[in-house]
Structure 1
Amino acid sequence: MKYRWLALIPALLLTTTAATSFVSAQTEHDSKQAVPNLTVAPGLQATLFSSEPQISSPSSMDVDSQGRVWICEVVNYRASLRDITTRKEGDRILILEDTNGDGKADKTTVFYQGNDVNGSQGICVLGNKVIVAASPNVFLFTDENNDGKADKKELLFKIAGGEHDHSAHTSIFGPDGKLYWNFGNSGKQVFDAAGKPILESNGKPVLDNGKPYWGGMVFRCNLDGSDFEVLGHNFRNNYEITVDSFGTLWQSDNDDDGNRGVRINYVMEFGNYGYLDQLTGARWKTPRTGMHEEIPLRHWHLRDPGVIPNLLQTGAGSPTGICVYEGSLLPKKYQGEVIHSDAGPNVVRAYPVKKDGAGYEAEIANIITSEQDKWFRPSDVCIAPDGSLFVADWYDPGVGGHRIGDQERGRIFRIAPADAKYVFDKLDLSTVEGAIAGIKNPNLARRYLAWNKLHALQEQALPLLEELYQSDNQRNRARALWLLAGIKGKTGEYVSRAIQDKNSDIRITGLRAARRYKQDVIPYVSQLVNDPSPQVRRECAIALHHNKSPEAPALWVKLADQYDGKDRWYLEALGIGMDEQEQKFLTAWLKQAGDDWNTPVGRDLIWRSKIPMAVPYLVKIIEDPNTEQDALPRYFRTLDFIPGKEKNTAVAELALLKEPENKTRETYIIAEAISRMPAKVVMQDSKYKQALTQVIDSSRGTPEFIKLVEKFKASDYYPELVAIAGHAGKSQTSVDAIRAALSLKQNALIRKSLENKADTEKEQNQKLDLIWALGSAGHNGANGILLKIITNKEDLLVDRREAVRAIAKSRPGAHALLDLAEKKDFDPQLKQTVAAAMSSTIMKDVKERAARLYPAPPTKDNKPLPPINVLASIKGDKLDGRVMFNTKGTCAKCHIVNGMGKEVGPNLSEIGKKLSREALFESILFPSAGISHNYESYTVILLSGNVVNGLLVNKTDDAITIRDAEAISRTFKMDDVDEIIQQKISLMPADLQKVLTQEELVNIVEYLTTLKQAQPIKKASR
């Protein structure tokens, strides 16, 4: 355990209360309480299959054909990041076996141990071969003599992203005989064992660079790694992929922590899933036209053309293992459904789905929860040969995020109806009948062995496979179909039979089998193109992806004609079908539609195409008075994805739009259009300048006003920029305005504003806000203005102190301040202000220099804090903690709770659901021990010598945006950047306790534990 040193503390040092609480905490986390602490759904019972000391920290699990449980045990999780190696010999891959039939593991075998599998995030058992994802490697182990020990280790794939839990995850054997797996957004690129880049059939590398792929990806390949395909991309941290018997893919994806955007996806093949802007690679926080107001929906770029909808959004969480339950032991409501573990909210859920047009809709059905013990961290779920559900519990006070709080405990649970013993027949592959029984089994390891046996038998297996195909169980029929279509010479026969089946899922499986076995899909799509099922037609569209047949455009047109103008799943399938052939396919549809193109269907097809030939149609849609104003952002947004002179000409035309009947609509269109035009073009033409003036005048006081004045150098409005900086309070708008004024070299105007006498309290506060904005702007031009205020003894002391705090935010400014502090004539009235400003800096050179002048102050009450477990045992006052959180300037300064606070670090609205009390204390006292992904601190060094520290909001080839500790974002052109350094320490101060007493700290944590429910999410709109 992370705090095992506590055992060395003499008992006499503990108070009676602390000692009692310590014992109570130990009892609470005892494995004897593991099952009682669970709440299990009706009709099911949990039993403890294994626990500590037999195992600890299981991150991933599989159940083999013999019913043995394999786990990746990761006590060395992120050891290289934490500079701590708990087990010097390395992490282990264990086999847990119940040899006496009592439902509990009584035998443990170490299959493999080594530092090369530290922090493994995936295991897949395929007979005597085992695939282990231990980024940056995906290994293939072989047990050549079946003794439960790895005899051979081979490299299957190499991942570019290094050791990270946003990298490679579990592999799974598909019903088509293929291997499915994925990596998260740290994966970056896939290489083969020899280090050569993996290429798809089109010759493109599997690379996260936007050409065309971004972020996390889903893959399909042969078991030897050949015939590699990317099936989906632009995920954040898609932890595990699963596939059902029909070949349908399901997956979860984690949001940027704290944004309540965790999602479950039906993975439509070849789709873009919207984590990053497909055009620029920008993150979801970057403003864009038409984005959702609600962050959980805005998070996935759901309104951008080419983004697949989410099946379900589940709020806050840390999603982990997933499977499809295709057994019959569990109650019927779970049969055929996705089952998923989410370690954050301590829950294992099912997601019963219903078909919804070309896609699906889902609901949530909890299987296991744990309100009593928040250390329950379900990390994986698997199906055993008897149909029971196994759940791996990493058991930890926190949830990943590069930290581990408990390295001694871990549990494996078996979930089944009461009195359902863990018994099943032995797999017999010596006969065709035995192999058929294996292919019908819900356990994937058995199905792998049976599939390979039946596939090898070819026509010898045909009679019994045919019998299975004629059965009533549709999932067994699908499994038989994949094998029947794989018999040499029989592919066409069985695909033809399947696409005429009365069951739409079998028709879909037939078409997928045609693709699997490299058949010409055009004849099959021709037969299915008018299928009554939109799901079948969806698969037809996907089958046309990159198909160069001369018949493909006409077939696509027939599919498009059956689009209802509402079903986004269907529209995106059409988009996938015309990918890289948009002009050819859209031309065919427009030729047929003629003058009747301007319908909801036609508008959607044009919006989705994102090609230059769509521009004149988009202009007509925007200019059409029947186009509602609420719909206009959608069409302007798709223009952003279209390159070339056609788009530039179009926005220039729209910038001169005159619509006397609807001035509001006209102004919006002109504003959107002119903001997309080059400044030089606008300022050299009187017509555009007049339009620009109209737009600027109508946008006064808004962020758009600042952007337009800065972009077009509209000098008549410069005084208003400075005025906004003083009138907008301490806000992003204020900073943006003063930064624009500095960039436009309006230093004299700013100085004049600061020299004006403040006659009222309001005017004085506006002056202070302007000084604050100068310090927050990240612009060296501010330092000269601030130094003049600091050294001018005739200025008000309150102004000079604010200037000290402002200038200390930049490296050149801080050193200039220290230069002054070393002079004998430095105003002593500013000494404490300088000391306070220097105490919070994270710039090492500044900190070292300041320490000689201003030694660090002692803790608030001069008392050392007790160990974390003792702190965690103390009951705090949640009401006082709430007041401290919001008024002390410790937490709300950087974190949002239900809309209140500043957005610097993660949103804490549901932190009490995600972190235990111990983990909350650790996050405050040792923030750099586990920095959340995408909340790493960066230092940007500019060519000017200025330095900015903060969180990376966005980075493109042209610019970088950093959000500092006051939630102010600063954007710098890459041409002005000298170096970008990712910090190893958290942006959160490491000495927060110095401003708190122990009681205040405990009260804040008590309050944080109550934060378990944020504001409700509005339903997504189209």
Structure 2
Amino acid sequence: MTTKRPVKRAVTFFFAFSAFLAGFRFISSDGPRFSPTDYVVEDGFKLNLIASEPFLKAPVTLDFDSKGRMWVVEMIGYMPNLEGIGEDELNGRITILEDRNKDGVVDQSKVFLDQLVLPRALAHVYGGLLYVDGPKLWFVEIVNDKPGRKTLVDPVYAEGGNVEHSSNGLMMNIDNWIYNANYHFRYQLKNGKWRKEPTSPRGQWGITKDNFGRLYYNTNSTNLQGDYVLPNKAIRNNYFKPTIAEHQRLASNRVFPIHQTSVNRGYQPGVLDEKGYLKDVTAACGPLVYRGGVFPKPYDLNAFVCVPEANLIKRNILDFKGLQTSARQAVEGKEFIASTDEGFRPVNLFNGPDGAMYIVDMHRGIIQHKAYISQYLTEQLGTKKLDTLQNAGRILKVTSTATKPNPVPDLSKATGNELLALLSHPNGWLRDLSQQLLIQKNELSLVPQLVALAKTGNEFLTAIHALYVLEGLNALTFENLSSIIAQSKQPETIAHAVGLLERFATRERVPKMKSICTNLMAQNSETIDLYLAMSLNAWLKLSDAAFLPVLSIIEKKYATQPVVQEGITSALAGKEEQYLASMNPTDLLKNNLTQTIGKRQKNEMNPIYVVEKNAVDNRTKGLKLFRSICATCHGADGKGIPELAPPLKGSEYIDGSLKRLAAMILHGVSGPIHVDGKLYQLNNEMPALINNKDVSDQDIADIIRFTQNAFAKVGKGISAEDVKKMRSKKPEGSGAFTEKQLLESDFDN
């Protein structure tokens, strides 16, 4: 299917502008129109609309192909109404957007894949497309912009939880591994086979990286999180889980919207300020470390974050000090972009081929999933008719007024030497893609130039890209890595190189590696010492005598730095007792090693090495159970069904004692009952679940928690233990509870 731009765009714009002057927003049949006056953008930048309906609907993420075209994931099925009914429809799709006449605005779209269930991620890798359909992760070959052969990469990739808590991201990092948000595995296609390895779980929605390869992410209630170290370096010890090296909150959660905010927990004290403005993020997502190379210098490596509930985008300045990273609000009291348009829902940000920043604006009213949406927010959305804003969507482009974006290149036609030159380009997107294309093209003739490039140093860390092209080409050797380590003046390059050197560990190379360690420690670099320590695991298995003393020197040098001590604990996997017995560790490391030995004895591994898929969260489980058990009579929206069951909203049985509610679910209800002052003459009993072995006490607690969130005036909690106690609170006689018994019984004592 191909969609082209309407011919009468100028006429439409005239009427839209006239309507704005008349004091209201013009809505065409294609959806809401973009009005720049609805947005306050930081000085020195401008915001342009480059794609909207009818070319796309409900976009949630995108990626650019080697021709610079946008491929957009459209999650059309997400919350189609306030009840969230219909999310399993086969209406998701992946669409290719093109600007055919090169005027900067999309004028054609064509569907690449459709009939998908809640798709939420994609990545152009290995000459094809990695994407998510329902719970499954697929790789599909691309043949003339059409899907070719498909390969199932992971059947349980997005199992568990609702769509807001299922795996997404799919970002190729500089180390040639694909990482995710909200999943503890990473992926790689190597020598024709897909590899799946444990990694630390990161964030909730969206993932990004800096030039070094550290990862950044967030959760709905945290503006920005990140790792102090490169991925998979501090988790080499299966019985140790780092708490400092990874998952650090980097910045304040304070937010500065420019209008009163409708948010899920707005009724709770402290969520909104005295003017009704949101105080801290509640739906942060889609972070981006800017690496585009065309914004003014102070914006390089800034971390931008989507805050869709407050209709804004934050800018955080990253600070790199020693082995730690922090972030701070760029302009106190003001956001990079803030809008008065409550339909502006930025959910993802990306560096583009031209160096600009691209915003994926889902542009809809409802952005809270049914499993978590409160009655308070439901009423707010309904009052503002935001629930009617569906099937819209925008891609926005942010550019600097001081510099021009670069032309969008077509790297599909680039030669090997052209791609080699692009490894030094200021635009990180171009460097990343050139690295991958050199590997895909199997450019073995360029190995000597790549080795030479890996010995150089610049602010863009080009040498690291060169290292991983060599890795992807299977062209690394112990000799060329040793040469790179010896000649490089850049600690970041050496950090990656010593990690890559570990795969060449043999007993014959122990003396040479010991000499490398001595030379590196003489450089007195925190970065080099840390990554050297974390890269000695394979060498320790060959010679305790050679390398335990190396770790001991580093340990004593950084005795009070927990990041280094966690790195050493990671490297000592299986050697903890030897180190304790022979190296007299300082307190931090001694504590780490003692705890690790205890966990090994109890066989308590880091969960990433045990758990295969994400578990369903309790709130989503409660929603699913409610829909399967309760909605048949009470309705999926809880409004009740005549002659079957009364409504739940406004019910004193929902707003009252939760133990009474648990007893009702366990033992059933019969006869007439008053709800919210109205008598309901029920012809059928509410069935009891006490003898249903498939429904546990925890299940009933989850159902109640969902009803509290969805229908109660003020939500309360209940435990499985509380539910269990209600099993003995049986009604008199052999039947279900009557209204009289419910009102007269004391369930809370």
State the TM-score bracket (shorter-chain normalisation).
Answer: 0.5 to 0.7
Equivalent residue number for residue 69 of structure 2? 68
The amino acid of 1:158's aligned partner reads P
Equivalent residue number for residue 40 of structure 1? 41
Equivalent residue number for residue 855 of structure 1? 674
> Are the structure 2 counterparts of residues 33 and 90 from structure 1 closer, same or farther at C-alpha, using a change threshold of 3 Å?
closer
Shift of 1:46: 1.1
Confirm or deny: 8 A CA contact 1:317 1:343 kept in the other structure.
no
Equivalent residue number for residue 479 of structure 1? 465
Confirm or deny: 8 A CA contact 2:451 2:480 kept in the other structure.
no
Shift of 1:430: 5.4
For residue 171 of structure 1, give the secondary structure of its aligned residue in structure 2.
strand
Equivalent residue number for residue 431 of structure 1? 415
> Are the structure 2 counterparts of residues 54 and 573 from structure 1 closer, same or farther at C-alpha, using a change threshold of 3 Å?
same
Rounded to whole Å, the distance in 2 between the matches of 1:399 and 1:55 is: 18
Equivalent residue number for residue 697 of structure 1? none
Q: How does 1:682-831 map to 2 (within 5 A)?
A: none
> Are the structure 2 counterparts of residues 854 and 451 from structure 1 closer, same or farther at C-alpha, using a change threshold of 3 Å?
closer
1:507 matched to 2:490? The reply is no
> Are the structure 2 counterparts of residues 79 and 491 from structure 1 closer, same or farther at C-alpha, using a change threshold of 3 Å?
farther
Confirm or deny: 8 A CA contact 2:171 2:180 kept in the other structure.
no
Equivalent residue number for residue 681 of structure 1? none
Shift of 1:76: 0.9
Let me know the Cα RMSD of the aligned residues.
4.8
Q: How does 1:245-264 map to 2 (within 5 A)?
A: 245-246=211-212, 248-254=213-219, 263-264=225-226
Confirm or deny: 8 A CA contact 2:287 2:304 kept in the other structure.
yes
Rounded to whole Å, the distance in 2 between the matches of 1:143 and 1:220 is: 19
The higher radius of gyration belongs to 1
Structure 1: unaligned runs, 5 residues or longer: 1-19, 185-215, 280-300, 594-601, 614-638, 645-831, 861-937, 955-963, 979-1022
Equivalent residue number for residue 168 of structure 1? 167
Rounded to whole Å, the distance in 2 between the matches of 1:308 and 1:87 is: 33
* Residues 267-286 of structure 1, C-alpha deviations (whole Å, 9 max, x = no match): 5434789xxxx99xxxxxxx
For residue 492 of structure 2, give the secondary structure of its aligned residue in structure 1.
helix
Rounded to whole Å, the distance in 1 between the matches of 2:699 and 2:457 is: 67
Shift of 1:331: 1.5
> Are the structure 2 counterparts of residues 848 and 163 from structure 1 closer, same or farther at C-alpha, using a change threshold of 3 Å?
closer
Shift of 1:112: 0.8
Rounded to whole Å, the distance in 2 between the matches of 1:417 and 1:77 is: 33
Equivalent residue number for residue 551 of structure 2? 556
Structure 2: unaligned runs, 5 residues or longer: 1-19, 254-279, 374-385, 603-650, 680-688, 706-712, 728-749
> Are the structure 2 counterparts of residues 327 and 578 from structure 1 closer, same or farther at C-alpha, using a change threshold of 3 Å?
same
Rounded to whole Å, the distance in 2 between the matches of 1:559 and 1:839 is: 57
Equivalent residue number for residue 634 of structure 2? none
* Residues 308-334 of structure 1, C-alpha deviations (whole Å, 9 max, x = no match): 644345353323333443332112122
Rounded to whole Å, the distance in 2 between the matches of 1:240 and 1:833 is: 41
Rounded to whole Å, the distance in 2 between the matches of 1:433 and 1:308 is: 39
- Report 1 or 2 for greater relative contact order, CA contacts < 8 Å, sequence distance ≥ 6: 2
Rounded to whole Å, the distance in 2 between the matches of 1:391 and 1:847 is: 49
* Residues 971-997 of structure 1, C-alpha deviations (whole Å, 9 max, x = no match): 74999999xxxxxxxxxxxxxxxxxxx
Shift of 1:840: 10
Confirm or deny: 8 A CA contact 1:132 1:170 kept in the other structure.
no
Shift of 1:245: 4.2
Shift of 1:462: 2.7
> Are the structure 2 counterparts of residues 411 and 421 from structure 1 closer, same or farther at C-alpha, using a change threshold of 3 Å?
same
Shift of 1:249: 2.4
Confirm or deny: 8 A CA contact 1:48 1:414 kept in the other structure.
yes
Equivalent residue number for residue 588 of structure 1? 582
The amino acid of 2:166's aligned partner reads S
Confirm or deny: 8 A CA contact 1:59 1:392 kept in the other structure.
yes
Equivalent residue number for residue 394 of structure 1? 362
Equivalent residue number for residue 914 of structure 1? none
The amino acid of 1:179's aligned partner reads W
> Are the structure 2 counterparts of residues 135 and 538 from structure 1 closer, same or farther at C-alpha, using a change threshold of 3 Å?
farther
Equivalent residue number for residue 342 of structure 2? 374
Shift of 1:484: 4.7
Shift of 1:967: 5.0
> Are the structure 2 counterparts of residues 527 and 941 from structure 1 closer, same or farther at C-alpha, using a change threshold of 3 Å?
farther
Rounded to whole Å, the distance in 2 between the matches of 1:835 and 1:425 is: 59
Rounded to whole Å, the distance in 1 between the matches of 2:653 and 2:178 is: 58
Confirm or deny: 8 A CA contact 1:60 1:120 kept in the other structure.
no
Equivalent residue number for residue 1001 of structure 1? none
Q: Number of residues paired by the alignment? A: 581
Equivalent residue number for residue 443 of structure 2? 457
Equivalent residue number for residue 534 of structure 2? 542
> Are the structure 2 counterparts of residues 154 and 242 from structure 1 closer, same or farther at C-alpha, using a change threshold of 3 Å?
same
Identity in percent:
16
Equivalent residue number for residue 360 of structure 1? 325
1:410 matched to 2:393? The reply is yes
* Residues 480-514 of structure 1, C-alpha deviations (whole Å, 9 max, x = no match): 23335656365532443235522222221322333
Rounded to whole Å, the distance in 1 between the matches of 2:526 and 2:394 is: 44
Shift of 1:169: 1.2
Confirm or deny: 8 A CA contact 1:119 1:134 kept in the other structure.
yes
Give the one of 294, 304, 315 matched to 1:329: 294
Rounded to whole Å, the distance in 1 between the matches of 2:654 and 2:477 is: 82
Rounded to whole Å, the distance in 2 between the matches of 1:948 and 1:484 is: 52
> Are the structure 2 counterparts of residues 585 and 81 from structure 1 closer, same or farther at C-alpha, using a change threshold of 3 Å?
farther
> Are the structure 2 counterparts of residues 103 and 253 from structure 1 closer, same or farther at C-alpha, using a change threshold of 3 Å?
same
TM-score, normalised with respect to structure 1: 0.49
Q: How does 1:160-239 map to 2 (within 5 A)?
A: 161-162=159-160, 164-165=162-163, 166-176=165-175, 178-182=176-180, 184=182, 216-222=183-189, 226-233=194-201, 235=202, 237-239=203-205
Confirm or deny: 8 A CA contact 2:360 2:396 kept in the other structure.
yes
Equivalent residue number for residue 745 of structure 2? none
For residue 370 of structure 1, give the secondary structure of its aligned residue in structure 2.
strand
* Residues 385-441 of structure 1, C-alpha deviations (whole Å, 9 max, x = no match): 221111111122343435794431111011112373673343365533322244345
Rounded to whole Å, the distance in 2 between the matches of 1:834 and 1:558 is: 66
In terms of mean alpha carbon deviation, does 485-494 or 48-57 score higher?
485-494
The amino acid of 1:492's aligned partner reads E
The amino acid of 2:153's aligned partner reads L
Shift of 1:841: 5.8
Confirm or deny: 8 A CA contact 1:582 1:609 kept in the other structure.
yes
> Are the structure 2 counterparts of residues 569 and 135 from structure 1 closer, same or farther at C-alpha, using a change threshold of 3 Å?
farther
Confirm or deny: 8 A CA contact 1:43 1:331 kept in the other structure.
no
> Are the structure 2 counterparts of residues 848 and 32 from structure 1 closer, same or farther at C-alpha, using a change threshold of 3 Å?
same
Rounded to whole Å, the distance in 1 between the matches of 2:310 and 2:653 is: 44
For residue 398 of structure 2, give the secondary structure of its aligned residue in structure 1.
strand
Rounded to whole Å, the distance in 1 between the matches of 2:399 and 2:446 is: 37
Q: How does 1:904-923 map to 2 (within 5 A)?
A: none
* Residues 349-369 of structure 1, C-alpha deviations (whole Å, 9 max, x = no match): 444333333222222337742
Confirm or deny: 8 A CA contact 2:179 2:186 kept in the other structure.
yes
> Are the structure 2 counterparts of residues 425 and 853 from structure 1 closer, same or farther at C-alpha, using a change threshold of 3 Å?
closer
> Are the structure 2 counterparts of residues 534 and 473 from structure 1 closer, same or farther at C-alpha, using a change threshold of 3 Å?
closer
Equivalent residue number for residue 99 of structure 2? 98
TM-score, normalised with respect to structure 2: 0.66
Equivalent residue number for residue 686 of structure 1? none
Rounded to whole Å, the distance in 1 between the matches of 2:456 and 2:168 is: 36
Equivalent residue number for residue 823 of structure 1? none
For residue 409 of structure 1, give the secondary structure of its aligned residue in structure 2.
coil
> Are the structure 2 counterparts of residues 395 and 358 from structure 1 closer, same or farther at C-alpha, using a change threshold of 3 Å?
same
The amino acid of 2:467's aligned partner reads L
> Are the structure 2 counterparts of residues 422 and 90 from structure 1 closer, same or farther at C-alpha, using a change threshold of 3 Å?
farther
Confirm or deny: 8 A CA contact 2:181 2:217 kept in the other structure.
no
For residue 671 of structure 2, give the secondary structure of its aligned residue in structure 1.
helix
